[in-house]
Structure 1
Amino acid sequence: MLEPVGLDEVTERAYGVLLHEEQLTAGHLAGILDLAPARARQVLDGLVTAGLAQYHQGRPARYRPVDPRTGLTGLIRSRQRELERVAASVEAYAADYHERNLRSDPRLLVEVIEGPNEVTRRVELLVTSAEHEILAFDAPPYVSSNGTTSPSERDALARGVSVRAAYATEVLAIPARAETLREMVRLGEQARVLPRVPTKLIVVDRREAILPLTGSDEGRRTTAAYVRRSGLSDALVELFEAHWAMATPVFAATEPPGPTDPTDPADPADPEISPEDRALLQLLNAGLKDEAIARQLDLSQRTFRRRVAHLIHRLGATSRFQAGTQAMRRGWL
């Protein structure tokens, strides 16, 4: 039972005998377990080293047990630390192995995936394999009905995987996509938007990625590249991070604003904002066209313009740009 913490069968039997004795000599243990005296002394010294026994000098030397709640717990924690050090070295060993494979056959770096069904299947497998993080660029046109979002992403979020996705603004102009995006944000995805993204992309755990091989202006992309861990996958991560830093959060939950500062004339009399007005501000801030925002929020153009004018007035602004700045300042975005 104690083999996982480094005790062999003889040492475990000796430990069981020791726990039933107030003190024990090597000779006494040798007689009980039918061991040579030197072997019995070696076993008892091993228990001392493991923190499970105490050594007391004398003629003969005597050994006393340590409370198992202290001794075994300490031994278990020590083993856990050793295993954590081993686990930390796995990636380094894996990198060496992978580098050797790439030297022997560079074609292993990138695998070409053909056809929309196969691309979708490989994306699902990649997302399912995520342990820590998923990074994604998303933009039309779409190979599958789900776009970049896959059923596996919901599972990944449920098991605590961090998901960050940067979307082209045009995604928000598609009502079904925008609603899916809202849902994913509610589930924990961090979403931002950009006027355009450089490519569609999924990177998992900063080591493997899938991206289309055809250009962004060539319509539906049904040929993709599967990139394994390498300098190329590192570059794709850097590309994502650079664009993420410039992107605008969308549909993000915000903390309720704190008490207003009576000395600050910019503070509104009523700091609360409705979910509808927050959604309107987020879509305006994302750069979506008025017609697309009105369609998403199911508003007539007249009602949309009236609500925008009301928000600008409420924020004490003279333009939409200034209103966006004020809204961010107040924590409404």
Structure 2
Amino acid sequence: MFPVTAEDENPFAALGVTASQQTLYVVLLYNPGSTLSELAGMSEAPPARLAALLLEMEALGMISAEGAAGADAAADRAYSAHPPDAVVETLIRRREAEFIRARIEAKRISGDLLAAEQRSNPERLVEVVDGLDAVIQRYEQVQRAAVRQVKAIDKPPYAVDPVSPNEIERERLAEGVEYRAIYTPEALAIPARMELARRDSGFGERSRILENPPAKLVIVDDEMALMPLRGDDPSITALIRPSTLLDILIDVFDTCWEQATPLRFDGEPGSAGVRPRLSEADRHLLTLLAAGLKDEAVARHTGMGARTVSRHVARLLRTLNARTRFQAGVHAARRGLV
């Protein structure tokens, strides 16, 4: 007689093997070449039940049999168990294939449901988040929901203090979530904002700078996005779920990322080793250049004449080894001069 293994003692249960199959498998490991009649003599189970178990185990790749196949010849077949390590590998591969099929089917069903939802309730594709407190809360929620990646275009104005560390970002970076940030020159012109970006880079953020990207934007796992509905008012923001609109925003970010210039900080490869000596007036002028202002606008801000501005700009271009006004502002921002 051989007792049936209890379900909670069956080591193969996670691989889809029943307690009865596992028990019969162990018997065959110690009694290779046993026939159905011999197995029936060691068990209280009826021969028909044992025959069914043997067929199931053959199909799972746990055992093999010698002798003619078929119901009439079943009693004469000699059964042997395959080695446990080979059986486990076979069962694992079988389960993995089942998991993959299940995942594919789940995605197909989800896609069908999403398509149906888009047709019947298109308003659910875009949720309007109204109020600074609500926007801040949703911004924190989408970051915590990230599994793979957070992509952001960082530009003023801000719903949160622009010089306060994003502690959630630093936690998620430590957990393996990738952060990619595109900063505008206006963002890095904010006092202490450049230093904050430098510290975030040290935590693992990948950062670039781009003049005049089209929108402030946060995209999480390419599955949802946050974007202000009015560029000058972050308190009214849209949460965008999978849709053609989200696909467009993903393309917008990816295009901006390709066009942006990598941000490098002092001490990093490629950053300048010598910090030029600049006056406060020079720094103020560089801040305006980093913001993309033309000579006429700079003259209005500083009270200087346009020709004087042009002379100062030419000198700064030489000092910073830059070819254009915007490049001078970028170089200065990278090196923490503004």
- Same fold, judged at TM 0.5 (above): yes
2-side partners of 1:99 and 1:126: how far apart? 23
Residue 10 of structure 1: which of 20, 24, 42 is its match?
Answer: 20
Amino acid of the residue matched to residue 21 of structure 1? N
Match of 2:245 in 1: 232
2-side partners of 1:199 and 1:206: how far apart? 17
Match of 2:235 in 1: 222
Residue 38 of structure 2 is aligned to residue 38 of structure 1: no
Amino acid of the residue matched to residue 169 of structure 2? E
Residue 57 of structure 2 is aligned to residue 57 of structure 1: no
Shift of 1:254: 10
Match of 1:277 in 2: 273
Match of 2:305 in 1: none
Match of 1:200 in 2: 216
Match of 2:331 in 1: none
Match of 2:259 in 1: 246
2-side partners of 1:190 and 1:279: how far apart? 23
Shift of 1:308: 8.3
Residue 22 of structure 1: which of 27, 32, 35 is its match?
Answer: 32
Match of 1:81 in 2: 97
2-side partners of 1:221 and 1:67: how far apart? 64
- In the superposition, the TM-score normalised over structure 1's length comes to 0.73
Identity fraction in percent: 31
Any gaps of 5 or more consecutive residues in structure 2?
1-9, 69-74, 277-282, 289-313, 328-338
Shift of 1:104: 1.6
Equivalent residue of 1:7, what SS? coil
Residue 120 of structure 1: which of 128, 136, 141 is its match?
Answer: 136
Match of 1:137 in 2: 153
Greater gyration radius: 2
Any gaps of 5 or more consecutive residues in structure 1?
257-272, 281-287, 294-304, 313-318, 325-333
Amino acid of the residue matched to residue 257 of structure 2? W
Please say if residues 267 and 273 of structure 2, whose CA atoms lie closer than 8 Å, have aligned partners that are also in contact. no
Please say if residues 163 and 192 of structure 2, whose CA atoms lie closer than 8 Å, have aligned partners that are also in contact. no
Match of 1:109 in 2: 125
- In the superposition, the TM-score normalised over structure 2's length comes to 0.72
Shift of 1:240: 0.9
| Per-residue CA distance 1:25-71 (angstroms, 9 max, x = gap) | 22233333322323212212322222222212277211111111121
Please say if residues 138 and 197 of structure 1, whose CA atoms lie closer than 8 Å, have aligned partners that are also in contact. no
Deviating more after overlay: 82-91 vs 176-185: 82-91
Number of equivalences: 280
